Chains A and B, each alone.
Chain A
Amino acid sequence: MVDAVSTAQTTDRKLPNYWLRFVFLILAAVVCTLGSFAVGRYSLDIADVVLVFLSSFCGAIKDLHLLSAYSAFLLLPPPLSLLTAMTLDLSAFFADVLDLFFSVLPSPDAMAGNVVFDIRAPRIFAAIFVGAALSTAGAAYQGMFQNPLVSPEILGVSAGAGFGAALAIYFDLGVGAITTLAFAGGLIAVGVAYLISCLAKGSATLSMVLAGILIGSLFSAATSYIKLVADTNDQLPAITYWLMGSLARAEWGYELLFAVTVITIGLIPLCLFRWRMNVLTLGEDEARSIGVNTNLLRLIVIVCATLVTAVAVSISGLIGWVGLVIPHFCRMIFGYDYRGIIPAAVVMGAGFLLLVDDFSRTIAITEVPLGILTAFVGAPIFAYLLMMGERRS
C-alpha cells in the first residue's frame, strides 16, 4: 500500500504553448530586424526598406535567370536543355510580371539602396550574431557553473580580448589586427584559466571560476598598463572606445564573415547538447552517477561558448549584460529546461542587441557605445527579474 507524500500543490509551470511563444519570439525578432533597417540618420521608412529589398530581389531573379540559361545551354545535353529552356521561359515570364509590377511602384533611389545594403545590413548582421552568441554562451555557462549570476565573461574572455585589442591599437597594427588579436587574446585567457583549474585541487567548477577571476584581473591590469603608456591623443581614446563596445565598425568583409562562421559553428553543438546541459546543472557527482561524461561535456560547452564569445567580442568590443540578462528572461518565459532556453536565447539575444543597437544609433547626436547602453537597459531589467524571482522560487 502506498500513501501520497504530503498534499499535492501542482502549480501550472508547464508551458503548454511553448511553440506559440517561440513563434511570437521569432516574429518579434523579424520585426526588430526590419525596423532596424529603417532606423538611423538617413531617414527611411519601412516601406522604403521593403521596396529596396523587393527591387533587388527582382534583379537577383533576373540575373539568376540569365546565368542559369547560359549555363543550361552550354552544359546540358539537347533534350534536357530544351526542358530547362521551357522552365526558364516560365521563370522569365514571372520575372517580367515582377518587372511590370515594379514599374508601377516608385523605384527606390540608389542612395537608399546603399544605406540599406552597405551600411545598415552588415551592422544588423553583426548585431544579430553577436547578440545570439553572447546570450547563448551566457545561458550555457550559467548551467555549467550551476550559478545564474555567471556571464560569458566569467573565464576572462573579455579581459583577454580587451588586452589583445589594446595591444593592436598601441602598436598601430590596423583594423584587421585588432579583431585578430582580440580573438586570440580571448582564447588565450580562457585557455590559461582552464589549465590552472585543471591543475588546481578541489571542485572543478569552483576552481574554474576562481581561475577565471584571476586571469581576468591580470589581463585587465595589463590593459590598464597599455592605456597608461599609450599616446593620449589618438591611441588612448581608441582603446577606451573599443572597450566600451560598438558595432559601428561592422562592414562586409572577411572579419564579419569569419565571425559569422565561427558563431554558427559554435552554436550548433550547444543546440545539439541542450538537453544534456540539464544534467550538467546537477553538479559533478550527480551527473556522473547518472552516466554522463561530465569532463567531456563540460569541455565541449566551454570550447563552444568561449569560441562564440571571443569572436563576438573581437568584432564588437566589450558588451556586457546581454549574456547575463537574456538567459534569465528566457527562463522567465520558456521555463528552466535547456531544451527550451537555448533556442530562445539565440533568438532573444539577437533581437535584444538589435534593439539596443537601434537606440545607440539614434538616442544622441553621436553614437552611444553599446556597452554603456546594455548596462543602462540590462540593470533595470535584472533588478525587475530579481524582484519577480522573489515570488517565483
Chain B
Amino acid sequence: MSLAISHLSFAYSRNSRLVLNDVSFLVAEGELLAVLGPNGVGKSTLFRCILGFLPHHQGSIYLNGKDIRTLDHKEIAKYVAYIPQSTHPVFNYTVLDVVLMGLANQVRLLASPNRIHINEAYAAMESLGISHLRDAGYGEISGGERQLALIARALVQKARILIMDEPTANLDYGNQFRVMRRISDLAKEGYSVVLSTHNPDHAFLYANRALMIYGGRVIASGTPEDVLDAKLIKEVYGVDVYIEDYQCGSYHHKHCIPVNGDFERHE
C-alpha cells in the first residue's frame, strides 16, 4: 500500500494564497516519512487533503494507485487511518470503547461490535502493549497511553497508510521516544506512516525519509541524514543548531543540538 502525491496545490478559497504549492512525494510500504516545518506552513492542510476532507485540491493524490477523487469517505477510510493529537476527551470512554470506534466502517450500520470485533480490538491493544488498560478510562491514562490507544484504533480500522498529526506533542520526554519507537515498529511491519514532527531528532532516529515544508512548498526531501542540516533548520525555524554525528559501537546516528548564538566563540 503506497501513498503518492503529485503536484498537489490547495487554497481555501479561490483568491486566497496557496496553502500548499506544488507538493509531490511518495511513501512506499514500510516507509516512515517525517514531515517537518514550522506551525502554519500547511502540514495539517496536507493531511486533510490526504484524508479526503478537502476535495477541491489541484494535482493528484493516489492511495494505492487509486485517485482519491474517485473514492468516497468510506473507501478512503479503508486505505488511510488518521491519528490525531491525543487531547483530553469530553466523555470518559474506556480505552476498549475508544479502540472499538475504529471498527465503525466494518460494523453494520445499525449494529454494535460483536465478539469478533472485540477480539480484534484486544489484539491491536496487545500488539501495542496496552491490553492491561482496556477497562481504564481514556481520560485517566497518560498522554502516551492515550496516543497508543489512538494508534490501536487506527490499527483495527485495517488501513495500511497511517497519518499522524504530531504524535509526540504534549508527551513527556520518555513517552515521546516510547511512542516513536512503536510507530517505527509499525512501519517495519509494512505500514506506510506519515507523521508531522518538530523534532529533527525524531526524524534522525526513526524516519526513512524527511520532508521539509516551508511556505506551502517542499523545500527539502530525502533521507533525514542528507536533508536536515544546520543551514536548513536555521532557515526554517530560525534557530542555530549543531548537527552531530554520534557513533558508539554499532549505534550511529545524527543528532540535532540547539545552541545559543555565542556557540561559535566557545568552539
Chain A residues with CB under 8 Å of chain B are 2-6, 8-14, 143, 146-148, 272-276, 278-279, 281-282, 285-293, 331, 335-337, 339, 392-393
Known A14-B135, A273-B110, A293-B73; contact A285-B182, beta-carbon cutoff 8 A: no
Q: Check B92–A392 contact: CB distance below 8 A.
A: yes
Chain B residues with CB under 8 Å of chain A are 48, 51, 53, 73-74, 76-78, 80-82, 84, 90-94, 96-97, 100-102, 104-105, 107, 109-113, 128-130, 132-133, 135-137, 139-142, 144-145, 148, 153, 157, 174-175, 178-179, 182, 185
Q: Check A278–B84 contact: CB distance below 8 A.
A: no
Q: Which residues of A contact B84 (CB under 8 A)?
A: 285-286
**B256 smallest CB distance to A (angstroms):** 24
- Complex: how many Å from CA A169 to CA B78? 56
**B100 smallest CB distance to A (angstroms):** 8
- Complex: how many Å from CA A228 to CA B179? 64
Q: Check A290–B102 contact: CB distance below 8 A.
A: yes
In the complex formed, the residue of A with least CB distance to B82 is A289
Q: Check B94–A5 contact: CB distance below 8 A.
A: no
Q: Which residues of A contact B73 (CB under 8 A)?
A: 288, 291, 293
In the complex formed, the residue of A with least CB distance to B127 is A2
- Give the contacting residue for B135; candidates A12, A273, A279, A286; CB below 8 A: A12
- Give the contacting residue for A288; candidates B53, B97, B110, B148; CB below 8 A: B53
Q: Check A13–B105 contact: CB distance below 8 A.
A: no
Q: Which residues of A contact B157 (CB under 8 A)?
A: 290-291
In the complex formed, the residue of A with least CB distance to B165 is A285
In the complex formed, the residue of B with least CB distance to A290 is B104
Q: Check B82–A285 contact: CB distance below 8 A.
A: yes
In the complex formed, the residue of B with least CB distance to A145 is B90
**A31 smallest CB distance to B (angstroms):** 29
Those 3 A-B pairs whose CB atoms lie nearest each other, nearest first: A291-B77, A289-B82, A291-B105
User: 6 other contacts beyond A10-B132, A275-B107, A285-B51, with CB at 8 A cut-off?
Assistant: A2-B182, A5-B175, A11-B140, A13-B140, A143-B91, A275-B113
Q: Check A8–B97 contact: CB distance below 8 A.
A: no
Q: Check B175–A281 contact: CB distance below 8 A.
A: no
Q: Check B139–A2 contact: CB distance below 8 A.
A: no
A-B contact pairs, 15 of them (CB 8 A): A8-B133, A13-B135, A13-B140, A14-B96, A273-B110, A281-B90, A285-B53, A288-B53, A290-B105, A290-B153, A291-B74, A291-B105, A336-B91, A337-B93, A392-B92
Q: Check B48–A281 contact: CB distance below 8 A.
A: no
Q: Which residues of B contact A393 (CB under 8 A)?
A: 92, 137, 139-140
Count A-B pairs with CB separation below 8 Å.
Answer: 125
Q: Which residues of B contact A3 (CB under 8 A)?
A: 129, 178
Q: Which residues of A contact B105 (CB under 8 A)?
A: 290-292
Q: Which residues of A contact B77 (CB under 8 A)?
A: 288-291
In the complex formed, the residue of B with least CB distance to A276 is B104
Q: Check B93–A278 contact: CB distance below 8 A.
A: yes
Q: Which residues of B contact A272 (CB under 8 A)?
A: 110
**A151 smallest CB distance to B (angstroms):** 16
Q: Check B175–A6 contact: CB distance below 8 A.
A: yes
**B260 smallest CB distance to A (angstroms):** 33
Known A12-B135, A13-B136, A289-B51; contact A4-B129, beta-carbon cutoff 8 A: yes
Q: Which residues of A contact B107 (CB under 8 A)?
A: 275
**B184 smallest CB distance to A (angstroms):** 12
- Complex: how many Å from CA A240 to CA B157? 54
Q: Check B136–A5 contact: CB distance below 8 A.
A: no
Known A286-B84, A291-B73; contact A5-B129, beta-carbon cutoff 8 A: yes
Q: Which residues of A contact B91 (CB under 8 A)?
A: 143, 146, 148, 281, 331, 336
Q: Which residues of A contact B81 (CB under 8 A)?
A: 289-290
Q: Which residues of B contact A285 (CB under 8 A)?
A: 48, 51, 53, 82, 84
**B176 smallest CB distance to A (angstroms):** 10
- Give the contacting residue for B82; candidates A12, A148, A281, A286; CB below 8 A: A286
- Complex: how many Å from CA A335 to CA B109? 23
- Complex: how many Å from CA A66 to CA B102? 58
- Complex: how many Å from CA A366 to CA B174? 67
Of the listed residues A5, A331, A337, A392, the one surrounded by the most CB atoms of chain B closer than 10 A to its CB is: A5
Q: Which residues of B contact A282 (CB under 8 A)?
A: 101
Q: Check B137–A13 contact: CB distance below 8 A.
A: yes
**A129 smallest CB distance to B (angstroms):** 23
Q: Check B104–A279 contact: CB distance below 8 A.
A: yes
Known A272-B110, A281-B90, A285-B82; contact A290-B51, beta-carbon cutoff 8 A: no
Known A5-B130, A290-B104; contact A147-B178, beta-carbon cutoff 8 A: no
- Give the contacting residue for A336; candidates B93, B102, B145; CB below 8 A: B93
Q: Which residues of B contact A143 (CB under 8 A)?
A: 91
Q: Check B129–A14 contact: CB distance below 8 A.
A: no
**B183 smallest CB distance to A (angstroms):** 12
In the complex formed, the residue of B with least CB distance to A392 is B92
- Complex: how many Å from CA A148 to CA B82? 25
